[in-house]
Structure 1
């Protein structure tokens, strides 16, 4: 069973799908129906790579796209793209609009007022998903918003063989389940049945992921404005306010007098705290002076 589980894990990573069994099935008809969709419903435009609208009989693709471009107004373009995605039956999975401040300066215009000048550049990183048959149409509409296209990448991954292999794996898992059912009930049978069910669940999950990725294409979009924008924001003249309240002579003089009084008290308390040291110092000075006096008297007697 370990070998079987490893094989299943590999198939799940490759997004292999379509497992059908009595315990729960994801029918392959979903993928087949999508593969047979009339390709005429896809909008074909010379301005969009044929990869976006490609349809080949008996082939199934997972399509993705990456667009990097500059636009006149990032906010306006973001709103327009989000609305377009919604109108096409898709949805936005990520949108991160932000303004990167390049510089910020404040200029005083009067005693009380000032002007804050910000230079900034706006950008947005988006991820959207639309029905695959609408991918070409969305790319055309996004292209209309550009001032300059930095890059555009469109990928179509052929997953036909992966799906066929997953179908075979599904049949194998189903057959294994039938063989397990014929075994005598014991602890080993329970473990085998549990492992086989786990494989079946992973197959179903892989099938749902594959079906979803085939039906809906993922588009990563990065847009930014080519030039810096300037924002003028009226603010208060903080320098004048600081000067206004920076110094008050009467108040500061009063505080200085009080603080001086407290300083005298602290010095007095400090002297009281170190009275043993002062006492020792006084004794030392007394003996030094007495010794000096004795030397002087001895000198006079000698003379």
Structure 2
């Protein structure tokens, strides 16, 4: 009886273990499926974000622009890569302002004649490029390979369908106004009206050309920088030793002092010659006062 109880207990333990393992396996499978669903959702979101640049709607016209702010490993190499991508896609660069912000610089003397200049700096570049609108998505994908960290990216699609229709209506109105002006008898007022209508027509044509250009080429503003400071080691001359070397030369300074003293004597003599009238007047006054003092009678001595 005791043996049968032990067997039943062991059987129950084994059944519980098998059930627990199956439950754990099923839960693991469900978690894995949930992760797969999450990954596919994330991929869908990523695809939808990248497709924003290539969005097309029937009977709609969009002017597309993008603004990108990201950190890259090397600003110069990233700039070259971006410019190359723009050129390959049939676009062009309208602005590229690459510069380094020097945070600090110190010079350390390494020998009597050599020194090392240490610069700590951060490089950044502000760019503006124009790419064909149908290739905007390809361009954004290509420059994404240069990023270390994406700070921000915005894509704007401005619906200008109504603006285009309005431009067409304005062109027709301008043409009708021109025909009406032609029917007016030639006078001073007709010339003024015709001139104003022509100026308005030219302005309208300019707006149409600008809109067509922005529809054909999308504008992308790009700001890239390096995440940390970089260090440049530049070999320079030890200027302190050079200054000490030529700071004092006894023979040259003695010779220069002798020449300076000789010219100083000459300047004094020339100065005295320039004031000779004053010297003569001063000498005459001294002579006059001495002579007057010599002829002054002495007072009689008192007798005791």
TM-score using structure 1 length: 0.77
SS of the aligned residue for 2:194 comes to: helix
* Secondary structure in structure 1 of the residue aligned to 2:190: helix
1:100 aligns with 2:138: no
Report the CA distance between 1:50 and its aligned residue: 5.1
Query: How many angstroms does 1:220 deviate by?
Result: 0.9
Query: How do 1:1-303 residues align onto structure 2 when only pairs under 5 Å count?
Result: 45-46=46-47, 48=49, 51-290=52-291, 298=298, 300-301=299-300, 303=302
SS of equivalent residue, structure 1 residue 46:
helix
**Residue deviations 1:195-244 (CA, integer Å, cap 9, x gap):** 32222222211111001101111011111112111111112222222222
SS in 2 for 1:56: coil
- After superposition, the C-alpha distances for 1:136-186 in whole angstroms (9 at most, x for unaligned) are 222222222222222223222221212111111111111112222223344
The answer to whether the Cα contact below 8 Å between 1:63 and 1:155 also exists between their aligned partners in 2 is yes
Greater shift in the superposed pair: 73-82 or 165-174: 165-174
Say if 1:113 and 1:236, in contact at 8 Å, map to a contact too. yes
**Whole-Å separation in 1 of the counterparts to 2:243 and 2:113:** 11
CA distance, structure 2, for counterparts of residue 68 and residue 188 of structure 1: 56
- Partners of 1:94 and 1:137 lie apart in 2 by 20
Residue 249 of structure 1 and its aligned partner are, at CA, apart by 1.6
Give the distance between the partners of 1:149 and 1:293, measured in 2 at CA: 107
> How far apart are residue 90 of structure 1 and its match?
1.1
Distance 1:171 1:183, change over 3 A: same
CA distance in 2, matches of 1:222, 1:52: 18
Question: CA contact under 8 A between 1:49 and 1:154: conserved in structure 2?
Answer: no
In 1, the alpha carbon distance for the partners of 2:47 and 2:278 equals: 99
State the match for 1:12 in structure 2: none
Give the TM-score, by structure 2 length. Answer: 0.77
Query: 1:26: which partner in 2?
Result: none
| Bigger share in helix | 2
Preserved CA contact (<8 Å) 1:60 1:160? yes
Question: What CA distance in whole angstroms lies between the structure 2 residues aligned with 1:222 and 1:277?
Answer: 79
Q: Distance in 2 between matches of 1:188 and 1:232?
A: 75
Aligned-pair Cα RMSD in Å: 2.3
- Say how many residue pairs are matched: 258
The structure having more radius of gyration, on CA atoms, is 2
Using the alignment, how far apart are the partners of 1:66 and 1:143 within structure 2? 13
Deviation sequence 1:25-63 (CA, Å, 0-9, x none): xxxxxxxxxxxxxxxxxxx95373654232222221211
Unaligned runs of 5+ in 2: 1-44
Taking the aligned partners of 1:139 and 1:268, their CA distance within structure 2 comes to 85
Asked if structure 2 preserves the Cα contact closer than 8 Å seen for 1:48 and 1:139, the reply is: no
